[in-house]
């Protein structure tokens, strides 16, 4: 297990109320802008004199359950009665502290937190024991703890944590405190219920849009419908006549970027600012804007597909992997297969539309943001208000608010940039609100893509040559990423079946595209897994092999293979084999199905966790696809909260089903065509099949779960549709 | 205009065309009712008007003159509506944003059909979108609430 890294340290102090406070601090060093001495509180445990234990851990809760999981880690090592624990949300601390590693994304929260958080709990416990031992005049190692009490075994004396809490702060923070053996766990690995449901079902939770800051105004922004277009002129005469409308302000998004060159807003536009939501809404409706549509006015999905199709058969611009000699092996193989897979842009559309509240006064910016990365909010707001980057840590205060869903969309803090810019423009407090149409048309998108796959099979139907060419617009290119290449965000060359097929080649070519590219749950995997797992299915059928048998044959002996990207450094074939076998077994693989039904299977190693899924579909009238059943087998390493894992898997599978069957963002004339949940639609309760989740935990380092089941859900459904109809699906969303 | 919200009489001056959603959130400070799409397609804004669920983003202030509006804050005095109890028991929410709308629709369903079938639930609840995918738990919780309403343990 890792120790707390040198970038983090624990500090103990007595509270003014007579309690113990142990804080975990991190150096903020993700950007060279921070001074080496600036530190941020990332977690704490506080023992109150009345015995209540407050635990705070700063990862934003977007519905994925870190609000429970992370405090459980601290409480486990602290050895405290869970009923005495109160979980504090980040917003309470936001007034006083600045933030370091406080983001929720990449399915990393549990993985990155588990060791430092357990240390924090263990250190607090050690301090309490030291204080009790001193009071009794005994050796600390003759004391044990149980559920908030210290016990001196030989004499049977006990002290409650709160009775020694103030004294405990006087002791030096011990360096290497032993952690519990997992066999002793009382909390971790056991299902925990959420603590916020009562608040939610009574309408008491404050989401981003619910924040109320005295004097705040509301703003809607009319954004250029064409990507990259600009404001030519605008007429606000009728707008300004609406009672309550205060100002109309142009936003030149192009003028603002991070120091790296990364854009901080997606669109140029004109903002209507009013003293009420309704006045701002009405005012915006009456605004007249003329646009200079610009060079992308004729961009379209068809153009992008066509430009991709031109590149696909050519030599990739970048070769990322080149084992053996694909061309020779392919030319001489018994059977040759080729397929092109395509997927559209998709938009994450959390149910709470983008919004953010900001105030700018005396060169300081304050932001209330429902964000997934409060740190990025600080940067985007700092850049939007023209503050010197070296001052952002001090000059921009971020109050993270609970978001109504994230899904990756809220990792980009463009909404914060807009609010901060407008706050400065009017010298006050502004809440920017996006409508659903704004969200669907002016967002950042999971990129479209085209994949060309080729395989040469031997006479036994086993692939002996494989080539994968990915063509798409790159997110890293859009973000002006300086320390990565454009292909690093688009393809992971070590993805299975890499390293198990000789003569294996992976290449990438980028296409130019004006669409802003962002994050959507499972990222590159939601596209690539569809291509890879569909093609493996095609290979299986071409070679007369069962799709599960082919995958098992390729996985071979249980061993580690290299994996250089997020979730690595190793990919273990045995763990993938086990989830594949479990999904197949529970999914009744190989058993018969009624007519017009089909079963498909897919698997993946996604951000460190292993997953396999079986989908059962039925086809009605040769056209209508209904998912009848989903089975998911998941190995995310050691599981902190099995109850949380199960619902995350179900939610992620549903996201995958939507990507498989519903979601498509289409470009025509440089703009997004879709505009509401009517033409960009998500499944409703009547569409959802039973989703069975089988957890295969291990003692391995825990990785994530929030994103992991999305990709194989898509691929399993596509393979199931083939099984039901004989029609191979090469394009998403699936249409018959 | 005069109307009742959660049992309290209100007399306010308001643009008659303001959607009830903003009347509730901005004028009456009742922010449990949510804005999700503004065009009546997601159900996050669901409230009861004279006992019937409506999309408050599509219901104008003038339309509730003299009527009774119930919001999530008024569903029960003490979080003790059988649905709220079932929701807590079964850990239904994830991000939680859609849940007020889900509960208001489900409350009406249970009034109409104390023993709803799966089909009843499909038909009544399909106007409420959940992006997090808590549907399976929602269904379970509605069935559980029906039991609790019956007085079953």
The predicted-structure confidence for A682-711, as pLDDT tens digits, reads as follows 999 999 999 999 999 888 888 888 999 999
**Cβ-nearest to B84 among A201, A403, A406:** A201
- Best probe of the A interface among B44, B46, B57, B131, by most A CBs < 10 A, is B131
Q: What are the tens digits of pLDDT across the range B42-52?
A: 999 999 999 99
Mean pLDDT of A380-392: 95
What's the pLDDT at A151?
A: 97
pLDDT, one tens digit per residue, over A409-431 is 999 999 999 999 999 999 999 99
Say which DSSP state A448 is in.
Answer: P
A348 CA to chain B: closest CA distance, Å?
A: 9
Residue A641 to residue A725: CA distance in whole angstroms: 40
Q: What is the pLDDT of residue A323?
A: 97
Residue A418 to residue A409: CA distance in whole angstroms: 15
Burial letters for A477-489: b for 16+ Cβ neighbours within 10 Å, e otherwise?
bbbebeeeebbbb
Which residue is listed with tokens 């951000």? A607
Contacts of A712 (CB under 8 A, 6+ apart): A529, A533, A602, A603, A604, A611, A612, A613, A632, A656
What confidence score (pLDDT) does residue A394 get? 85
User: What does the pLDDT read at residue A456?
Assistant: 98
Beta carbons within 10 angstroms of residue A363's beta carbon: 11
Give yes or no for residue A324 having a pLDDT over 90: yes
CA angle A526, A528, A534 (to 5 degrees): 100
* Token couple for A300: 């379209």
Question: Which H helix or E strand runs over A377?
Answer: helix A374-384
A214 to chain B, any CB pair closer than 8 A? The answer is: no
Nearest chain B Cα to A349, which residue?
Answer: B131
Smallest CA–CA distance from B74 into chain A, residue: A202
Name the least confident of A115-119, A437-441, A543-547. A115-119
Residues 265-294 on A with a CB inside 8 Å of B are 276-278
Dihedral-angle region of residue B28 (phi above 0 means left; psi in -120 to 50 means alpha; beta otherwise)? alpha
Residue A589: pLDDT over 50: yes
Alpha helices, H only, A386-466: 392-395, 414-426, 436-441
Q: Which of A714, A721, A600 is nearest to A657 (CA)?
A: A714
Question: Taking CB atoms and an 8 Å cutoff, what residues of chain B touch A677?
Answer: 37, 39, 41-42, 129
For residue A674, is pLDDT > 50?
A: yes
Question: Do A656 and A714 form a contact (C-beta atoms < 8 A)?
Answer: yes
User: Which residues from chain B sit within 8 angstroms of residue A654, using beta carbons?
Assistant: 133, 135
Q: Which residue has the tokens 């301090």?
A: A127
pLDDT tens per residue, range A285-315: 999 999 999 999 999 999 999 999 999 999 9
Listed range (A120-124, A421-425, B109-113) with the worst mean pLDDT: A120-124
A105 or A306, higher pLDDT: A306
pLDDT at residue B7 tops 50: yes
pLDDT at residue A4 is higher than 60: no
Element (DSSP H or E) covering residue A399? strand A396-400
Of A664 and A376, which is predicted with more confidence?
Answer: A664
Q: Where does the pLDDT of residue A96 fall: very low under 50, low under 70, confident under 90, or very high at 90 and above?
A: very low
Contact B96 A406 (CB under 8 A): no
Q: Are the Cβ atoms of B72 and A203 closer than 8 angstroms?
A: yes
Give residue-wise pLDDT tens across range A536-580.
Answer: 999 999 999 999 999 999 999 999 999 999 999 999 999 999 999
Query: If you measure CA to CA, which chain B residue comes closest to A651?
Result: B133
Mean pLDDT calculated for residue range A483-498: 96
pLDDT of residue A31: 37
Q: Between chains, do A435 and B38 touch, taking CB under 8 Å as contact?
A: yes
Residue B128's nearest CA partner among B86, B92, B89 is B92
Please name the residue ranges forming H helices in A28-108: 66-78, 90-93
Q: What is the CA radius of gyration of chain A?
A: 27
The whole-angstrom separation of Cα B88 and Cα B79 is 9
Least confident of A67-81, A193-207, A404-418, A615-629: A67-81
- With CA atoms as reference, report the closest residue to A588 among A577, A602, A575, A600: A600
C-alpha A644/C-alpha B27 separation (Å) is 37
pLDDT greater than 60 at residue B54: yes
Chain A residues touching residue B137 (CB < 8 angstroms): 647
Structure tokens at B1: 């205009």
pLDDT at A103: 58
Residue A624, judged by CB atoms within 10 A of its CB (0-12, 13-18, 19+), counts as exposed
Disruptive mutation site among B94, B121, B128 for chain A (greatest number of A CBs within 10 Å): B94
pLDDT per residue over A155-179, tens digit each?
A: 999 999 999 998 998 898 888 888 9
What's the pLDDT score for residue A27? 60
Q: What percent of chain B is predicted at pLDDT more than 70?
A: 99
- Element at A88 (helix H, strand E): strand A85-88
At A226-242, the pLDDT tens digits run 999 999 999 999 999 99
Reported confidence tier of residue A89, pLDDT bands at 50, 70, 90: low
Percent of chain A's residues with pLDDT above 90: 76
In this predicted structure, the answer to whether residue A26 has a pLDDT above a threshold of 70 is no
Q: Are A370 and A406 in contact (CB under 8 A)?
A: no
The span from the CA of A15 to the CA of A165, in Å, is 9
Joined together, the tokens standing for residue B102 give 């889900």
For A78: left if phi > 0, alpha if psi spans -120 to 50, otherwise beta; the answer is alpha
A570: buried, middle or exposed (CB in 10 Å: 19+, 13-18, 0-12)? middle
Alpha carbon A517 to its chain centroid, in Å, reads 15
Q: Provide the mean pLDDT of chain A.
A: 91
Rounded CA-CA distance B10/B4 in Å is: 6
Spatial contact of A57 and A114, defined as CB atoms under 8 Å apart: no
Rounded Cα gap, residues A19 and A3, in angstroms: 27
Residue A477 has pLDDT above 60, yes or no: yes
Q: Is the pLDDT of residue A102 over 80?
A: no
Task: Check residue A40 and give its pLDDT.
Answer: 57
Residues 225-264 of A with CB under 8 A from B: none
Q: State yes or no: pLDDT of A284 exceeds 70.
A: yes
Pairing assessment for the beta strands A318-322 and B2-5 based on DSSP bridges: unpaired
Q: A379 falls in which pLDDT band (50, 70, 90)?
A: very high
Can you tell me the distance from the alpha carbon of A526 to that of A659, in angstroms, rounded to the nearest whole number? Answer: 8
Between CA A680 and CA A675 the distance in angstroms is 7
B132–chain A Cβ distance below 8 A for any pair: yes
Residue A485 dihedral angles phi and psi, to the nearest 5°: -90, 160
Whether residue A209 and residue B95 make contact (CB cut-off 8 A), yes or no, is: no
pLDDT band at residue A118 using 50, 70 and 90 as cut-offs = confident
pLDDT bucket at A11, cuts 50 / 70 / 90: confident
Dist CA A543 CA A541 (whole Å): 5
Q: What is the DSSP letter of A267?
A: -
Whether B128 sits inside 8 A of A690 (CB atoms) is no
Q: Which residues contact A174 (CB under 8 A, 6 or more apart)?
A: A123, A126, A127
Alpha carbon A624 to chain centroid, angstroms:
31
pLDDT at B37: 98
- A375 touches A30 (CB < 8 A): yes
- Interchain contact B125–A (C-beta under 8 A): yes
HEC profile of A286-321: CCEEEEECCCCCCCCHHHHHHHHHHHCCCCCCEEEE
From residue A170, alpha-carbon distances to A40, A49, A134, A167 in Å are 22, 16, 11, 6
Of A95, A20, A15, A11, which Cα lies nearest the Cα of A53?
A20
Under DSSP, is residue A646 helix (H, G, I), strand (E, B) or coil?
helix
Q: Please state whether beta strands A691-695 and A667-668 pair in parallel, antiparallel, or not at all (unpaired).
A: unpaired
Q: Residue B69: its chain A contacts at CB < 8 A?
A: none
- Helix, strand, coil in percent for chain B, rounding step 5: 40, 15, 45
Least confident among A16-20, A92-96, A244-248 = A92-96
C-alpha to C-alpha distance for A127 and A620, rounded to whole angstroms: 66
A44 or A419, higher pLDDT:
A419
Nearest to A351 among B15, B25, B97 (CB): B97
Give the C-alpha separation, A382 to A385, whole Å: 5
More confident residue, A476 or B153: A476
Beta bridge partners of A613: A602, A632
**What burial class does residue B153 get, using C-beta atoms within 10 Å of its C-beta: 0-12 exposed, 13-18 middle, 19+ buried?**
exposed
A74 contacts A117 by C-beta, under 8 angstroms: yes
| Helix, coil or strand: residue A254 | helix
pLDDT of the residue at B148 = 96
| Residue appearing with tokens 């993270």 | A400
CB contact under 8 A, B31 and A206: yes
Residue A352: closest C-alpha in chain B: B36
Q: Which of A641, A576, A704, A638 is nearest to A1 (CA)?
A: A638
CA dist., res. A139 & res. A121, Å (int): 21
- Give chain B's radius of gyration (CA, Å): 15
Residue of higher predicted confidence among A307 and A30: A307
């Amino acid at each position: 297990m890792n120790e707390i890294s040198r970038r983090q340290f624990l500090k103990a102090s007595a509270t003014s109320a007579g309690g113990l406070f142990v804080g975990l601090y991190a150096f903020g060093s993700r950007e060279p802008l921070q001074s080496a001495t600036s530190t941020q509180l990332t977690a704490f445990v506080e023992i109150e004199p009345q015995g209540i234990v407050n635990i705070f851990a700063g990862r934003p809760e977007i519905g994925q359950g870190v609000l429970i999981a992370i405090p459980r880690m601290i409480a486990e090592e602290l050895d405290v009665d869970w009923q005495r624990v109160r979980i504090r949300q980040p917003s309470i601390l936001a007034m006083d502290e600045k933030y370091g590693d406080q983001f929720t994304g990449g399915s990393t929260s549990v993985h990155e937190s588990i060791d430092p958080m357990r240390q924090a709990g263990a250190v607090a416990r050690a301090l309490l024991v030291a204080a009790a031992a001193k009071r009794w005049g005994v050796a600390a190692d003759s004391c044990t703890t149980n559920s908030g009490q210290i016990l001196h075994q030989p004499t049977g004396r006990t002290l409650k944590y709160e009775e020694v809490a103030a004294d405990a702060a006087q002791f030096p923070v011990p360096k290497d405190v032993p952690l519990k053996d997992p066999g002793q766990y009382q909390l971790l690995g056991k299902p925990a219920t959420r603590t916020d449901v009562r608040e939610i079902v009574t309408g008491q939770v404050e989401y981003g849009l619910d924040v109320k800051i005295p004097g705040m105004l509301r703003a809607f922004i009319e954004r250029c419908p064409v990507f990259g277009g600009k404001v030519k002129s605008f007429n606000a005469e009728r707008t300004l006549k609406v009672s309550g409308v205060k100002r109309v302000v142009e936003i030149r998004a192009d003028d603002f970027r991070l120091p790296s060159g990364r854009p901080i807003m997606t669109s140029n536009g004109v903002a209507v600012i009013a003293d009420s939501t309704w006045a701002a809404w009405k005012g915006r409706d009456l605004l007249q804007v003329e646009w200079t549509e610009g060079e992308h006015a004729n961009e379209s999905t068809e153009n992008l597909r066509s430009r991709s199709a031109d590149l696909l058969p050519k030599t990739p611009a970048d070769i990322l992997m080149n084992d053996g000699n694909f061309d020779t092996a392919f030319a001489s193989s018994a059977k040759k297969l080729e397929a092109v897979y395509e997927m559209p842009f998709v938009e994450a559309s959390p149910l709470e539309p983008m919004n953010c509240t900001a105030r700018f006064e005396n060169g300081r910016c304050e932001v209330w943001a429902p964000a997934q990365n409060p740190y990025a909010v600080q940067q985007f707001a700092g850049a939007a208000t023209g503050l010197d980057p070296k001052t952002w840590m001090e000059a921009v205060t971020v109050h993270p608010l609970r978001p109504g869903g994230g899904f990756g969309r809220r990792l980009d803090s463009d909404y914060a940039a807009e609010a901060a810019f407008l706050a400065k423009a009017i010298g006050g407090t502004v809440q920017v609100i996006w409508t659903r149409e704004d969200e669907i048309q002016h967002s950042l998108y999971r990129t479209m893509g085209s994949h060309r796959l080729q395989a040469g099979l031997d006479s036994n139907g086993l692939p002996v040559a494989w080539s994968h060419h990915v063509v798409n617009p790159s997110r890293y290119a859009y973000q002006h990423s300086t320390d990565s290449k454009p292909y690093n965000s688009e393809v992971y060359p070590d993805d299975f079946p890499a390293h198990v097929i000789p003569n294996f080649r992976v290449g990438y070519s980028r296409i130019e595209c004006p669409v802003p590219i962002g994050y959507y749950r499972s990222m590159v995997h939601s596209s690539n897994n569809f291509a890879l797992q569909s093609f493996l299915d095609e290979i299986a059928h071409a070679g007369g092999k069962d799709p599960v048998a082919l995958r098992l044959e390729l996985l071979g002996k249980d061993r580690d293979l290299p994996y250089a990207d997020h979730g690595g450094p190793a990919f273990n074939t045995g763990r993938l084999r086990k989830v594949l076998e479990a999904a197949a077994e529970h999914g009744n693989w190989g058993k018969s199905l009624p007519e017009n039904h089909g079963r498909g299977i897919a698997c993946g190693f996604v951000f460190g966790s292993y997953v396999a899924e079986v989908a059962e579909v039925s086809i009605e009238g040769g056209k209508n696809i209904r998912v009848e059943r989903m089975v998911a087998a998941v190995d995310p390493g050691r599981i902190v909260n099995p109850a949380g894992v199960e619902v995350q898997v179900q939610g992620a599978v549903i996201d995958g089903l939507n990507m498989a069957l519903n979601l498509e963002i289409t470009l025509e004339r440089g703009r997004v065509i879709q505009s509401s949940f009517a033409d960009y639609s998500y499944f409703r309760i009547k569409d959802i099949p039973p989703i069975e989740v089988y957890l295969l935990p291990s003692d391995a380092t825990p990785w994530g779960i929030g994103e992991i089941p999305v990709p194989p859900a898509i691929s399993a459904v596509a393979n199931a549709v083939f099984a039901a109809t004989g029609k191979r699906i090469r394009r998403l969303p699936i249409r018959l | 205009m005069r109307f009742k919200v959660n049992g309290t009489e209100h007399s306010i001056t308001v643009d008659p065309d303001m959607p009830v959603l903003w009347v509730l959130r901005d004028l009456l400070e009742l922010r449990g009712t949510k804005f999700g799409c503004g065009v009546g397609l997601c159900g996050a804004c669901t409230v009861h008007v004279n006992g019937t669920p409506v999309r408050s983003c599509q219901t104008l202030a003038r339309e509730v003159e003299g009527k009774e509006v119930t919001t999530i804050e008024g569903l029960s005095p003490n979080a003790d509506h059988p649905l709220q109890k079932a929701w807590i028991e079964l850990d239904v929410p994830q991000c939680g944003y859609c849940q007020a709308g889900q509960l208001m629709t489900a409350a009406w369903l249970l009034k109409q059909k104390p023993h709803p079938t799966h089909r009843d639930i499909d038909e009544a609840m399909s106007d409420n979108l959940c992006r997090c995918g808590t549907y399976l738990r929602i269904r379970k919780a509605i069935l559980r609430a029906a039991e609790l309403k019956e007085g079953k343990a």
